[in-house]
Amino acid sequence: MSKKPSVYPAMLSRVARVFRESIFLTINTKDGLEYHDTFTGKMAVDIICRIIRTNDRNLALLLGRSLDSQKFFHDVTYQHRLRDSIHEVYAFNHIYSDSPISGTGVNGVFTILTDCYSPTCSRNSLCYSIACPRRLEQQARLNMKPQGGLQRAVSRLSLHDQDETKSLWHETVPKSVLDKLDKLEKMRQELIYEFIYTERDYVKDLEFMTDFYIMPLRNPSNNIIPEREREVFIRTVFGGVSDLLRLAKSISEALTRRQQQQKPVIQTIADVFLQFVDKFEPFIQYSGNKVFASFEHERQQQVNMRYASFLDAIEKRPESRKQDLSSFLIKGIQRPARYQLLLGGILKNTQPDSPDYPDLLKAKEEIEKILGKINIQTGESTDRHKIMVLHRLLGKQTLEDKYNFKLSYNNRIIYQVTLNRKRDNEKIDLYLFEHALLLVKHKIQNKREQYKVFEKPIYLPLLFVNSGYDIPTFRTVINSRINGSIMSESKAKVDSINTKLQINFMGLGSQQVHTTLNADDVANQNQVLSQISSQQKKIMAKYDIFSLSKYETRRFTGNNKINCAVPCYGGKKLLYGTDSGVWVSTVRTISITNNEKICSDPTLVISKEYVTQIEVLVEYSKLLVLSDKSLFEFDLSCTDSLDHAKNTRSGRLILSHVSSFKTGICDGKLLVCCIKQGNNHSINIFEPPNPFDKNKNRNKKYDIREITFSSDPISISFLRTRLCIGCTKGFEILSMEDGKKEPILDEADPSLDFATQKEIVNPLAIHRLGKDFLLSYSEFSFLINRNGWRTKHDWGIFWEGNPTNIALFYPYLLSFESNFIEIRDLKTTYLIRALIGENIRFLHSNEHEAMYACEEGGYDVIVSIDFLNLKPKEK
């Protein structure tokens, strides 16, 4: 250890401040109960040793108890002081405040670690003062025998202190009875006796809380709590106490009756407990309310001096046994854990042939189930409270309006830690949720801590984290993928010590996040990396909702890249549209159980420049090809011919100056809609002739209908009887009967201002979801009804990137942009998966499959996302 401490160790306020900044709060278990935001006694002593730079754990323990005595932290059971043990769990006092101040509430001087006031005192010579803090150290260095100095008198019990040791069972029965029992049975009877009298004590504690806290606080004449918030306060802090008291009285009376019936040696006890175990719901509800009760109690204590004085007065009463209100509030949570310990002890000392043994097994099993429910309820309540505090500190509207980030009370906080920013030595709080990462900056202004969002919240599927000096880039992310998804480093690099414990964060999106923070130690650094990568793996496992198949040909590169692709003949062939023409490959599956597919070497079947779109009209056995802004028609049979020159000549020009086209069924007819290039803001619509209809002339020119709009058309969607055209000024509905056009959004709805007030928008697609319509733009997606008014005002998707295409596979919505594909859950709107790639291009989608192209190793590959043929889950 370094000889120089990080702070002057004698000043308790400074030690407390550094201790609170350095300690790592987590979930610890004691007696079967989980305690959130706590630390172990061993961890506390380790931190204090590091702060004061010593290897003497006893000295650190003494210093820790000085902090404990000022109620800086407390044992979660309120039973003892700080102990250097991994099994003892402690929590800070006043951890629930949503407006924390910079102070710790700790003051005082730890005299053992003070410097001597004598200027001539040194470590290597004996100081003249017998009160010198270094005296024992100096005597040890000089090999001197310690001399007696000032002695402290042994303190006696105060007049008001009473010996509260409980009488034992063997003290209450005759010796003749004891002589007949073996050692095992004696221990069993002692535990049963403890079970009964601790239940009586539990009833007394609940009655004390009712008589000395609840009733005086409710009394209007005392006016301790303002009248307007009195009942809400009592319901929040003491809610469930009356139910617990009724239950405890019933259990205690039943146990006492059994004791009177079978004394002095009780034969069966578990059957009495089993009568009440199905009525333990008040324990679960009370545990869920505990975090909110503590928060309200601490808040009122800070802002209401009359309430604080009332608590001090009650604590000084002899009936309270020097316990404060918090120690009484925790008893309703800890009692089930005590049941488990006592029942386990009784079971351990009970013979298997005893009539009580089967009931004890069942009782122990039932109470373990109750403890499991309590832990779940406590965890959910703690997370809800943390979300509530974050909303207060950061502003719920700020998170939703500025960052499009919604935190609901169902979001769990998986991990929380404080990191450092090298510049200005700022403290950054890291919150890892199940689905996202939030970084919060806090600094002290006017002796109060101000909280702000440090960086835009990052969804975990778009987050990459590593350690060291290697700042992550998009290339780093590409090389760190697992099945197309980002996977962060799970462990710090070996050279992390030389990098000042750096943790680098990169978040993909239209507003990329790049930031570097520093951990306090290597363990902290590894914990951050491990927690993030572990949660990313859990997300991938939880949302394993599709299968990926690659079509690799190693044929198409930057000079001849893939612009479009479409399967045909039931997926047995794949048509590519490239810069040099249309190519075809035969596709086959390796095996029934394996989704990997093999493509034959592509063959050129149509030689046309800059093929940007292909569409197969299966019913008509036709192939539509958009080449260099001209739309051509070919027979589908040309894909079977290897004579690409002949196939090319067989093409028939339909339209020129076409930027894109789309085919679909509208009003029972197959239509081809083409978006025209130029300043006319128009589309062309025609119905291709059926080649199998003998009454129609196959060589007849198409009957092309032109429709103009007020702004440039961008996208086309087919509804049942009408077309929806996405223009730069918004979606417009086109009636096929009379050509009438009208905006799909009703501008009278003020909740649509974010979409209607924009001068230029980029509409991508419209989908029908039940009675509503899902409108998707390059920035957001939302729901409207058939009248153009928004529905579900609290529902909306704001894309992380700038997508150019949308695909719906209910209940999932996919958006495609050049660097990643977002997969959203339509029920929660959360980003549940993201597929990362270089130069991603959307190609094709049908009822269950979407295809896209991306670059890998200098070549274009095609990837299929199939929501029908899911991968078999690994067991």
Q: Return the DSSP state at 278.
A: G
Contacts with 555 (C-beta within 8 Å, 6 or more apart), sequence order: 583, 601, 602, 859
What are the tens digits of pLDDT across the range 347-373?
999 999 999 999 999 999 999 999 999
Minimal CA–CA distance to 10: which of 101, 111, 88, 78? 111
Which residue numbers in the chain have pLDDT < 50?
1-2, 96-102, 149-150, 152-166, 496, 871-875
By CB neighbour count within 10 A (0-12 exposed, 13-18 middle, 19+ buried), where does 537 fall? middle
Residue the block writes with tokens 């609170």: 20
What is the pLDDT, as a whole number, of residue 499? 60
Minimal CA–CA distance to 461: which of 494, 446, 483? 483
Q: Residue 277 has which token pair?
A: 């175990």
Return the sign of the alpha-carbon dihedral for residues 282, 287, 288, 291: positive
**Cα torsion through 776, 820, 841, 796, rounded to 10:** 0
| Distance in angstroms (rounded) separating the CA atoms of residues 610 and 333 | 71
- For 519-668, where are the E strands, in sequence order? 547-552, 562-568, 573-578, 582-589, 597-599, 603-606, 611-617, 622-627, 630-635, 652-655, 658-666
**Cα torsion through 357, 358, 363, 368, rounded to 10:** 100
- Whether the CB-CB separation of 125 and 138 falls below 8 Å is answered with yes
**Cα torsion through 602, 606, 610, 613, rounded to 10:** -80
Identify the structural domains of the chain with CATH numbers, from first to last.
12-114 (1.10.10.10), 174-385 (1.20.900.10), 404-542 (2.30.29.30)
| Distance in angstroms (rounded) separating the CA atoms of residues 130 and 78 | 38
What amino acid occupies position 640? D
**φ, ψ at 637 (rounded to 5°):** -65, -20
Q: pTM for this one? A: 0.78
**φ, ψ at 250 (rounded to 5°):** -65, -45
What is the pLDDT, as a whole number, of residue 834? 95
- For 312-461, where are the E strands, in sequence order? 413-421, 426-433, 436-445, 448-459
Angle of CA points 867, 870, 875, to nearest 5°: 150
Q: Residue 272 has which token pair?
A: 């009495």
Q: Between β-strands 741-743 and 730-735, what pairing exists: parallel, antiparallel or unpaired?
A: antiparallel
Give the per-residue SS3 of 182-224. CHHHHHHHHHHHHHHHHHHHHHHHHHHHHHHHHHHHHCCCCCC
What is the pLDDT, as a whole number, of residue 660? 92
